[in-house]
């Protein structure tokens, strides 16, 4: 990054689920653009600390906070911890999420409840806590999914529902927060090359060949780039939106 690209210099960001995959990519991108960053992780402190060390080498403040997003109290406490350590909060990225696939006959109630807790309730709890620390120019960015718009195979109903809920949440919160100069938007990725969903995995060729208009997976960096844009001053007139970055999966 050049000095001209330090769009987030002096900003303070919290990224939930930031120790791996898309979340880690977002942490790295926001830090590269000058933001101080905090991330949460549910387990694997070694991975979280590796991300923190990497971005701290860029000269920004960075910290990792253990918090299971299924625990509402832990989520709220993580926001307070991040705000206290960073001296405030300007950007919240609600990235933590879970994915459970099963048919209607086989879907377990405990998996349903955890999906709601992590993918919806944690977003509400973190956002409610974060806006108490935000001033004009604050940004909330939720990582949704293209499956909020299109679920072309069986077993994904509950996941799709949880990501669709973020669309309504963003629209409603946009009305609550617009007069305060705080924006909220969803980024809705399609298939992304991560450890959990590798581009050479068993279902990958079907996704690329049958569902995507662009026959490849996205990189983590591409998703992080959209998040960084929404976090910047350039995106100050975008709110309540759900923005696709899915290679035409939903086209």
Give the pLDDT confidence of 138-177 residue by residue, as tens digits. 999 999 999 999 999 999 999 999 999 999 999 999 999 9
pLDDT mean over 224-243 = 98
At 86, which helix (H) or strand (E)? helix 72-86
* pLDDT of 4: 43
163 occurs within a structural domain:
yes
Query: What span, in angstroms and rounded, lies between the C-alpha atoms of 246 and 111?
Result: 26
pLDDT mean over 33-53 = 97
251 occurs within a structural domain:
no
249 occurs within a structural domain:
no
CATH number of residue 101's parent domain: 3.40.50.720
34 occurs within a structural domain:
yes
How many independent structural domains does the chain possess? 1
Of 205 and 120, the one with more pLDDT: 120
237 occurs within a structural domain:
yes
Residue range of the domain that includes 74 = 3-244
* pLDDT of 72: 98
Residue 192 to residues 17, 23, 148, 215, 221: CA-CA distances in angstroms? 16, 12, 16, 12, 10
- Asked if 7 contacts 230 with a C-beta cutoff of 8 angstroms, the reply is no
Confidence of residue 205 (pLDDT cuts 50, 70, 90): confident
103 occurs within a structural domain:
yes
Phi-psi map region of 240: left, alpha, beta (phi>0 left; psi -120 to 50 alpha):
left
What is the per-residue pLDDT across 1-17, written as a single tens digit (0 to 9) for each? 554 479 999 999 999 99
* pLDDT of 158: 98
What is the per-residue pLDDT across 65-90, written as a single tens digit (0 to 9) for each? 999 999 999 999 999 999 999 999 99
- Asked if 195 contacts 21 with a C-beta cutoff of 8 angstroms, the reply is yes
The widest CA-to-CA distance across the chain, in whole angstroms, is 55
41 occurs within a structural domain:
yes
250 occurs within a structural domain:
no
Respond yes or no: is residue 237 known to be catalytic.
no
Closest C-alpha to 188, from 207, 162, 215, 154: 162
Given 41, 159, 229, 237, which residue is catalytic?
159
pLDDT mean over 219-229 = 98
* pLDDT of 121: 98
Of 207 and 128, the one with more pLDDT: 128
* pLDDT of 1: 52
Burial class (CB in 10 A: 0-12, 13-18, 19+), 72: middle
């Amino acid at each position: 990054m050049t000095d001209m690209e330090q769009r987030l210099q002096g900003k303070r960001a919290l990224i939930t689920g930031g120790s791996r995959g898309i979340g880690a990519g977002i942490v790295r991108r926001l830090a590269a653009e000058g933001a101080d960053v905090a991330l949460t992780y549910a387990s694997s402190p070694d991975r979280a600390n590796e991300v923190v060390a990497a971005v701290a080498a860029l000269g920004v403040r960075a910290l990792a906070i253990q918090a299971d997003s299924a625990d509402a109290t832990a989520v709220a406490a993580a926001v307070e911890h991040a705000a206290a350590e960073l001296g405030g909060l300007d950007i919240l990225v609600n990235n933590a999420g879970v994915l459970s696939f099963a048919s209607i006959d086989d879907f377990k109630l405990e998996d349903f409840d955890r999906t709601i807790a992590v993918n919806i309730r944690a977003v509400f709890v973190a956002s409610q806590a974060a806006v108490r620390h935000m001033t004009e120019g604050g940004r909330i960015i939720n990582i949704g999914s293209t499956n909020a718009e299109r679920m072309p195979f069986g077993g994904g109903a509950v996941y799709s529902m949880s990501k669709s809920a973020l669309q309504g949440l963003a629209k409603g919160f946009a009305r609550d927060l617009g007069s305060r100069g705080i924006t909220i938007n969803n980024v809705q990725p399609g298939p992304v090359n991560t450890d959990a969903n590798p581009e050479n995995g068993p279902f990958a060729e079907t996704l690329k060949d049958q569902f995507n208009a662009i026959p490849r997976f996205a990189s983590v960096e591409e998703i992080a780039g959209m998040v960084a844009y929404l976090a910047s001053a350039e995106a100050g007139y975008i709110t309540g939106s759900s923005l696709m970055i899915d290679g035409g999966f939903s086209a």
